[in-house]
Amino acid sequence: MQVTVKAESWDGADGVRLRAAQRAELDARYGNDDHEPGIAPTAGDIDVFLIARDAHGAALGCGGLRTLGPDSAEIKRMYVEPAARGTGVAVAILRSLEHEARGRGLVDLLLETGTAQPDAMRFYEREGYHRIDNFGPYAGEPLSVCYARRLR
């Protein structure tokens, strides 16, 4: 599938819709809406928010970066519409996030996913991320699974 991935406003209609769809999916997987440790991301703390679109301009997925320190950032709100999964959209978003991180001089990307998301865990492992001890707000959280990748 041919997609374009570009930075867009966190508060744009497509970003809001995609993040709401992600939230609904996670609420269903975990059986409640209390499955995100730490502070939820906002327009004020997401340094770049990307949306992937198909050739007709339809928004298929999103992802953002939140700076953690001078050399690192966390991937936040990585999501792809179910109908577009397995088509390369997630890889395109992830590679674009990595490109943005490199452009900002970042060395390490970290992320958190959850125990009820084995598909996400397989995806990140396949794409070169390795499991790490839970960091920051995820430390000690039994539903959290954390990953990292050193950018070259």
How many domains, the chain? 1
SS3 category, 46: coil
Domain housing 16: 4-150
Hunting for tokens 């959290």 — which residue is that? 144
Distances (CA, A) of 105 to 23, 64, 98, 99, 152: 30, 16, 11, 10, 11
pLDDT of residue 79: 97
pTM of the model: 0.95
pLDDT of residue 32: 81
Hunting for tokens 């939140």 — which residue is that? 66
CATH of the domain at 97: 3.40.630.30
| 78-111 pLDDT per residue, tens | 999 999 999 999 999 999 999 999 999 999 999 9
Q: Mean pLDDT, the chain, as a whole number?
A: 95
